[in-house]
Chain A
C-alpha cells in the first residue's frame, strides 16, 4: 500500500465516524455561533467597526471551537485501545496524523461554510478589498490551526488534564498564525492594498509546521 492509501484509509475512517455521530461538527458549530453572538453583544459594533473586528472574532471563534473538537478526535482512539493498535500497525505514523488533520480540516471548513453567511448577516459585512483572496486565507488559516491542533492534542493525550493542556500549548504557538490570519482577513475586509504579505507568512507557517509535525509525530505516538 502506498502512503497516500494509508492517509485515505485514516481519513475515510474519521469521516465515517463523524458522519455517524456528527459530534464534532454540531459541537463546533453551536460553540462558534455562540461566540459570534456573544461578541456581538459585548461590542455592539456598527458596520464600520464590525469590518475592523470581524476578522479577529471569526478566527478567535474558530480557534476556540476547534480546540473543543480536537481533543475528541484522539479520545475516540483511546476507547478499546485503538491507539495501541495504531502504534503496533505497520503503517507510517505520520499517515495517521495527516489523515486526522485532513478530517479535522474538512470539519472546520464545513463550519466556515455555514458560519460565513451568518457572519455577513450579523455584522453587516461586505468586503471592500479583493474578496476572492478570502478563499485563500480561510483554508490556509484553518490548516495552520488544525495541523498544530491535531498534533498537540495527540501530545496532550498522555497528560493529566488533557482538556486544559491543548489550549495551553496551542495558543502561544499559534499566535503568529493567528496574527497573520486576522491581519489578512481584516486587510481584505477594509480594502487594505496589500494583504498578500500576510498570506505569504501564513503559507510559510503552514509549510514549516506541517513538516515539523509530520517529522515529530512518530516520537509522540511512541513516547513511553
Chain B
C-alpha cells in the first residue's frame, strides 16, 4: 500500500510548493498564500472525505468523522512538543539572549493555544463519534482520559499566563510547560493500566490495524490540511504576540526616556 500521496496528487503538491517559493518569504504574503493553500487542501480533503471515500463496512457514514477526529488528535499530540521545546529555548536563552527568549516565548504561547484548539476539536468529535459508535458519550478510558488531562494541563498553562504579573509570566509558564511534558507520559501509562476501551491505534497498532487503502487519500489530505491549518494559526498567533511584545517594549522605553528627561529638568 502506498502510504504517501497517490501519484496523481503529487503534481499538485509540487505546484503549490513552487507558488509559495515564487511569492517570496515576506511574512504577510507568505501567510496569506499559506492560508489560501490550506483552504484549498481542506476543501479537497472535504471532497475526498465526504464524497469519494467509501462508507465504512461496519459503521457506514458515521465513520467519516474519522477523517477529522484522527488528524486533530495527531495535531493535539504534536503541538505540545512544540510548546515544550519552545519553553526549553526560553529557559535556556532567558539570561544570555533576552530578545531571542521573548521570541521563543511567543512561539510557546502560540503552540499552547493551538494545542488547546486541536484538543478541544478532538474531544468534541470523539464525544460525537462515541455516542454513535459505542452508544455512550464518554468513557473513562486511557486515551480519552489522557487527552482530557492534556486539555486540563494546557488550560491551567494559559490561566497561569493570564493571572501572573507581567515580567514573570514567561518563566512561570515555561516551568509549567516542562512539568506538563513530564506529566503526560506518566498520565498515559497510569491510565492505560487503569482501563482501556478506545480501540487500539489505527496506525502502527500492529497487525489488523490500518484503514482500507481506498480511504487513505481522504485521510492523508485531511491530515495535511489540518496540519497546515495548525501551522497557519501558530504563525498568525506568533506574529500577533510579537507585535504585542514589541509594543510593550516601546512603551517601556518611552516611560524610561520620560523618566530620564524628568530627572534632567
Residues of chain A having any CB pair with chain B under 8 Å: 155-156, 158-161, 165, 168-169, 172-173, 175-176, 179-180, 183, 197, 201, 204-205, 208-209, 212, 216, 219-220, 223-224
Closest to B191 in A: A179
Chain B contacts with A in 167-194, Cβ cutoff 8 A: 167-168, 171-172, 175-176, 178-180, 182-183, 186-187, 189-191, 193-194
Q: Is the CB of A208 within 8 A of B182?
A: yes
Q: Is the CB of B159 within 8 A of A168?
A: yes
Give me 23 A-to-B residue pairs in the complex whose CB atoms sit less than 8 angstroms apart, sorted by A's number.
A155-B176, A159-B160, A159-B165, A160-B164, A169-B176, A172-B155, A172-B156, A172-B183, A173-B183, A176-B186, A179-B190, A179-B194, A180-B190, A201-B186, A201-B190, A201-B193, A208-B182, A209-B182, A212-B178, A212-B179, A219-B91, A223-B171, A223-B172
Q: Is the CB of A159 within 8 A of B164?
A: yes
Assembled-state Cα–Cα distance A160/B159 (Å): 11
Q: Is the CB of A160 within 8 A of B163?
A: yes
Given known contacts A159-B163, A169-B176, A173-B153, is B168 in contact with A224 (CB within 8 Å)? yes
For chain B, the bracket of interface size reads 20 to 34
Contact of B160 among A165, A180, A205 (CB under 8 A): A165
Contact of B167 among A160, A179, A208, A224 (CB under 8 A): A224
Task: Check: B82 CB closer than 8 A to any chain A CB.
Answer: no
Q: Is the CB of B187 within 8 A of A161?
A: no
Interface of B is mostly: helix
CB distance from A164 to the nearest CB of B (A): 8
Task: Check: B117 CB closer than 8 A to any chain A CB.
Answer: no
Assembled-state Cα–Cα distance A159/B182 (Å): 23
Assembled-state Cα–Cα distance A161/B182 (Å): 26
Q: Cβ of B191: which chain A residues have Cβ within 8 Å of it? A: 176, 179
Given known contacts A158-B164, A201-B189, is B176 in contact with A176 (CB within 8 Å)? no
Q: Cβ of B168: which chain A residues have Cβ within 8 Å of it? A: 158, 223-224
Q: Is the CB of B187 within 8 A of A175?
A: yes
Q: Is the CB of B153 within 8 A of A160?
A: no
Q: Is the CB of A220 within 8 A of B175?
A: yes
Q: Cβ of A161: which chain B residues have Cβ within 8 Å of it? A: 163
Closest to B183 in A: A173
Q: Is the CB of B175 within 8 A of A208?
A: no
Q: Across chains A and B, which 9 residue pairs bring their CB atoms closest together, nearest first?
A: A172-B152, A223-B171, A176-B190, A159-B163, A159-B164, A176-B186, A223-B168, A176-B187, A160-B163
Task: Check: B37 CB closer than 8 A to any chain A CB.
Answer: no
